[in-house]
Amino acid sequence: DSGVTQTPKHLITATGQRVTLRCSPRSGDLSVYWYQQSLDQGLQFLIQYYNGEERAKGNILERFSAQQFPDLHSELNLSSLELGDSALYFCASSVASDRRLYEQYFGPGTRLTVT
Amino acid sequence: AQSVTQLGSHVSVSEGALVLLRCNYSSSVPPYLFWYVQYPNQGLQLLLKYTTGATLVKGINGFEAEFKKSETSFHLTKPSAHMSDAAEYFCAVSDGDSSYKLIFGSGTRLLVRP
């Protein structure tokens, strides 16, 4: 158990819909990363938040957005869903210190199926 | 831009045999390198990492990896495979910018034959 929690574990929805994925980082971790794992694209970085502020963006679609709240949990919002958005979405967290900044701990993921 | 190449999408070994999973990286700056393991229906677990210092890195479950700058490689090895090692393994690089985001290879599925 990494200490990172993600809900829900599975999500099935229809095209055109909007969903919200939730992530709670490990206690004390200020940084949250979102990654997408799909069969055709592999594991891709989407976006990172650090202490409530967006730090970096990867190949994240405009239909997707995220935020990190004062209690440090994060939500990834996916809208106007398409079949191709079906994937496993991972959240990872990291301690913000020189010694541990590079190590990310991953949650169990949310499997999104768009029908 | 940084990238990671994992040679072999599938590697099959016999139980007790040497495990060798290959990873080559491309980076214009000194990289930070990682190996993660993913068991079925689970998240990614960090096996080991290289940031600076000793180029031979030991990780959990008996795995180790050697950073070879001249070969731009970071291959993962284990002297003796166990059935429980069957999983997917991902090599990743961090470009060391302020985000420390991870760039992953395509993964190698390790099969262990009894």
Q: Over chain A, what is the mean pLDDT? A: 92
B42–A contact, CB cutoff 8 A: yes
A6: number of Cβ within 10 Å? 20
Do A44 and B97 lie within an 8 Å CB cutoff? Answer: no
Reported as a single tens digit per residue, the pLDDT across B3-60 is 899 999 999 999 999 999 999 998 777 788 999 999 988 899 999 999 888 889 999 9
Reported as a single tens digit per residue, the pLDDT across B82-106 is 999 999 999 999 876 667 889 999 9
Closest CA to B32 of B49, B48, B44: B49
Q: Which of A101, A108, A109 sits opposite B100 (nearest CB)?
A: A101
pLDDT band at A96 (very low <50, low <70, confident <90, very high): low
Alpha-carbon A8 to chain mean position? 12
A-B C-beta contacts closer than 8 Å: 54
d(C-alpha A33, C-alpha A52), whole Å? 12
Do B91 and B34 touch, CB atoms closer than 8 A?
A: yes
Do B107 and A43 lie within an 8 Å CB cutoff? Answer: yes
Tokens of A93: 């967290």
Closest CA to B25 of B78, B71, B76, B64: B71
Q: From the CA of A38, how many Å to the nearest CA of chain B?
A: 11
**B 68-97 → A contacts, CB under 8 A:** 90, 94, 97
A40: number of Cβ within 10 Å? 6
Do B100 and A107 lie within an 8 Å CB cutoff? Answer: no
Place of tokens 């794992």: A37
Closest CA to B59 of B37, B81, B28, B39: B37
Tokens of A101: 């900044």
Q: Which of A55, A56, A108 sits opposite B43 (nearest CB)?
A: A108
